Amino acid sequence: MAKHFIQIEDYSIDQLQLLLTMSAELKELYRSGGRDTCLAGKTMAMVFEKPSSRTRISFQVGMAQLGGAAIYLRTEDFGGLGKREPISDLTRVLNGYVDVIVARTFLHESVLELAQYAAVPVINALTDRAHPCQAMADLLTIRELFDKLEGVKLAYIGDGNNVARSLAFACKKLGLNFVTASPKGYELNGNLRDKLQDQGPGTVTCLTDPREAVQKADVIYTDTWTSMGQEDQKQKRIRDFQGFQVNRALLQATGRDTKVMHCLPAYRGLEIADDVIESPNSIIFQQAENRLHFQRALLKYLIEIR
């Protein structure tokens, strides 16, 4: 089994299904008042270059609920990854202190280097290339709603970013029909689409027309048009993404009672309309809560199999 959790493509279909099952079981246990303190005496280091709310809180709460402790390291605490000291040195120091490293970095290569030198599990809590914990929590949410994953149509409207890439691999492996609609120049990378071919029974289709993409969709998903680190592109991206807002008209174009997801933070009035977020179709906050339930299961899975 994989020791680290860096990107979904590294995991088998059976491993991903096991993680979802563990997530659901632990969610039920904790909601019923039960506890699993299997990580008592264990410590998690959180190496974060980017600010965070849901990711940080859900990992810290999850580790505490499992009986462990968390140390949050901001950029100023370690002087910037690879700047004050090599990533390899920082990682080997952490090996002697902690039982798991959770990293949220600008560059995917930084997490790969952490994993290269780590003697403990490394979890990717977001990079410019992947957001695997988000995608798995999203699929947990979909499975709760539809009692299945295979055959569910997920329409992703917006930028072919790290979230879209992780969702594409997760959907392909676990049997969903994943359809994207992005403006030209913002699509999923062509090389990535080639890598998806033999990943599993699901399908991945890339379009440029949002209304075509959402036809008969069970779920519509969107994310911010401007991610952290892209602030200088904001005005250009707002222009380029005109017509890609998830709004009431797009929701009605599905022809069914479609659910709406957003990984948050949401910029209401840009990629998604306020009345859609607040509508009965929105499952955005159930989705956000499931970050905790997936990440708690992931910590247990990775640390217990060491």
Residue 268 CB neighbours (<10 A): 14
Give the predicted TM-score (pTM) of the model.
Answer: 0.96
Same domain, residue pair 125 and 138:
no
Mean pLDDT of the chain: 95
Same domain, residue pair 22 and 92:
yes
- Which domain covers residue 272, as residue numbers? 134-287
pLDDT of residue 80: 83
pLDDT 10s digits, 86-119: 999 999 999 999 999 999 999 999 999 999 999 9
**Phi, psi for residue 187 in degrees, rounded to 5:** -75, 170
CATH number at residue 175: 3.40.50.1370
Residue 88 CB neighbours (<10 A): 14
Same domain, residue pair 194 and 59:
no
Residues serving a catalytic function are 104, 131, 134, 223, 263, 291
pLDDT-above-70 percentage for the chain: 99
Same domain, residue pair 138 and 282:
yes
Dig out the tokens for 89 from the structure.
Answer: 């040195």
Contact 153, 176 (CB under 8 A): yes
pLDDT of residue 79: 83
1 confidence band (pLDDT: 50, 70, 90): very low
> Residue with structure tokens 């968390």?
70
Same domain, residue pair 160 and 266:
yes
Give the mean model confidence (pLDDT) for residues 69-94. 92
Same domain, residue pair 73 and 150:
no
pLDDT of residue 306: 56
Give the mean model confidence (pLDDT) for residues 119-127. 97
User: Does residue 150 register a pLDDT over 90?
Assistant: yes
Surface-to-core class of residue 141, CB atoms within 10 Å of its CB (0-12 exposed, 13-18 middle, 19+ buried)? buried
CA pair distance 71, 140, nearest whole angstrom: 27
